[in-house]
Structure 1
Amino acid sequence: MSGKDEYYNRSKQEGYRSRAAYKLRQLDETASLFDRNDTVVDLGAAPGGWLQVAAERVGAGGTVVGVDLQRIRDLDPDADGGEDDWGDGDVASVETIRGDMTEAKTQDRLRETIGDRGADVVVSDMAPNMTGEYNLDHARSVHLARQAFEVALDLLAPGGDLVVKVFQGQDLEALQDDIEAEFEYVRVVSPPASRDSSSEVYLVAKGLMTAPVEAGDRVSVEIEDVGDEGDGIATVDGYTLFVPGTEAGETVEIVVDDVKPRFGFAERVD
């Protein structure tokens, strides 16, 4: 049985709206994208296979929002048989927005829907209408991936993750470099559910970096508290830095050693 037949038949049997659902399941298994109660945004979400997977993975306490120019039929995991007979009851409700993510009104509606806390994961399986001209199709896929990247920078909470589809080609490395500059790390993943003939890969970016400092920066800080491990705790524009060998109330000169999505480490130099 071919890969196409396998995943197509499984999607029908298990109630998923597209065989692409298995790509997201495999990406999650590879990169641990979803946690319970997460908020997930799916760009280019029609017909809804990725929404179904996200709703299952984050559970009833999570939030899943899909955006697409096309209408997405309501997802009902409790349907009696048929195409929407999926999920085990512990799934998130899914909200869909019909609109163009390049338009301000769609962006505003999405921000309002996910709230001030932001999204934990942004995923995009968007692909261009194929022309058959490889370089053009590749360039268009990179353009769509960059659009998703920009949306993610706007919506993700610190430490959030991003998944974007792109076709392999000459601009892939530059796109990966640009995304990697904003995240802790980026991987190129080709899930088994992708067709053998496809040139698609997924860039999986983990840990959005929002720190106001970089490794090597030298700043003066006040030690506000001492943590459980005995390290001093300072903040720079709300970002936490752990500084060994300091005490609460001190003002010290530090050099930043390592920067993580939500906190960093530094050494005193005075």
Structure 2
Amino acid sequence: MSGKDEYYNKAKQQGYRARSAYKLKQLDETAGLLGDGRTVVDLGAAPGGWLQVAAEEVGERGTVVGVDRQRIEHLADPEPSVEYVRGDMTEESTKQKVRDVVGGTTDERGGPVDVVISDMAPNMSGDYDLDHARSVHLVRQAFEVATDLLDSGGDFAAKVFDGQDLQDLKADIEPEFEYVREIRPDASRDSSSELYLVAKHRLTAPVREGDVVEVTIDDMGEEGDGIAKVDGFTVFVSGVEEGETVEVRIDDVKPRFAFGQPAE
């Protein structure tokens, strides 16, 4: 028996529905996805192993929503934080059901969800290139849901098979988050090509790195930087004076604010 099969045995012993529960545990340890009071949406949640882990981590103050076309058998000892939505995650009616559960709406500053996770995989055909392409398609679908539901600063994690389209996929996700990294949990089987793209800190700002915008410096911060607003979003600008109107190049964007300097 290989060393990786220990996770199958541990899942049986500790009451998890699938060995994949340990993948989420390890992703959380590495990237800090879950936490007390967070709102988590688990896409393709059946049979429920990730729901179990997420519910443990968010606690009674959090909410976990499992979404799947299949019926998800309710946890034996259901936490009050676990809800179930049966439906296609790409359909607006399903996303609205999720919004109804978590009690929020989506606008230009983000949605009601802190974390979107997906352990979905395609039905395996035996043709690696085809299976890779299908896994990339699933991640793109999950990414679309994430950008619709995630709050500013929220996180996204999804399984994908390594292959020729991985870097293009990663490049498409990166502009919407502060950064994206690849993680291969130890709980993945040695023979598996799977990895997880983990995107941290959703950006909903009206500006992106490299943009040049004209702003008026309304105030000065404690560190001496000017403070300007772009559609209500705060931009800290170095080397300016209060009252100036100046073109600013955006150097760095965070979920709640950005940094810039006068454009040359």
Report the TM-score, using the length of structure 2 for normalisation.
Answer: 0.89
Per-residue displacement from partner, 1:18-54 (whole Å, max 9, x unpaired)?
1100000001111111232111110000111111111
Q: SS at the partner of 2:122?
A: coil
Aligned to 1:18: 18
Secondary structure at the counterpart of residue 12 of structure 1: helix
- Cross-structure match for 1:242: 236
Q: Residues of 1 paired with 2:53 and 2:256: CA distance? A: 27
- Asked if the contact 1:3/1:195 (under 8 Å) is kept, the reply is no
1:40 aligns with 2:37: no
Distance 1:210 1:167 in 2: 28
Listed as ranges, the matches of 1:33-72 within 5 Å are 33-72=33-72
Q: Contact 1:176 / 1:186 at 8 angstroms: preserved in 2? A: yes
The residue that corresponds to 2:108 in the other structure is none
Partner Cα separation in structure 1 for residue 135 and residue 200 of structure 2: 21
* Structure 2 CA distance for aligned equivalents of residues 37 and 140 of structure 1: 34
Report SS of the residue matched to 1:181: helix
The one of 216, 219, 222 aligned to 2:213:
219
Match for 2:117: what amino acid?
Answer: V
Corresponding pairs, count: 257
Which 5+ residue runs of structure 2 have no aligned equivalent? 106-110
CA distance in 2, matches of 1:39, 1:53: 13
1:61–1:92 Cα contact (<8 Å) kept: no
From 83, 86, 91, the counterpart of 1:95: 83
SS at match of 1:67: strand
What is the deviation of 1:230? Answer: 4.1
Aligned to 2:101, which of 113, 117, 122?
A: 113
Gap change, CA 1:26 and 1:92, over 3 Å in 2: farther
1:220-246 Cα offsets, whole Å, 9 max, x none, are 323344444343322211211112455
Change in CA separation of 1:226 and 1:38 when aligned onto 2, cut-off 3 Å: farther
Amino acid at match of 1:252: T
Give per-residue Cα distances to partners, 1:46-91, cap 9 Å, x unaligned.
111111111122222111111001111222447xxxxxxxxxxxx6
| CA distance in structure 2 between the aligned counterparts of 1:65 and 1:12, rounded to whole angstroms | 23
Deviations 1:176-216 (A, max 9, x none): 11111222111111100001111111111112122211233
Q: C-alpha displacement at 1:14, in angstroms?
A: 1.4
Task: Kindly report which structure 2 residues correspond to 1:1-270, keeping only aligned pairs within 5 A, or say none.
Answer: 1-77=1-77, 93-114=81-102, 115-116=104-105, 117-246=111-240, 250-253=243-246, 254-268=248-262
SS at match of 1:211: coil
Partner Cα separation in structure 2 for residue 20 and residue 193 of structure 1: 7
**Partner residue in 2 for 1:83:** none
Going from structure 1 to structure 2, the CA distance change for 1:247 and 1:62 (only over 3 Å counts) comes to: farther
Q: What's the CA shift for 1:269?
A: 5.8
What is the identity percentage for the equivalent residue pairs of Structure 1 and Structure 2? 65
Task: Using the TM superposition, name which of 182-191 and 41-50 deviates more.
Answer: 182-191
Say if 1:64 and 1:92, in contact at 8 Å, map to a contact too: no
Distance 1:56 1:125 in 2: 18
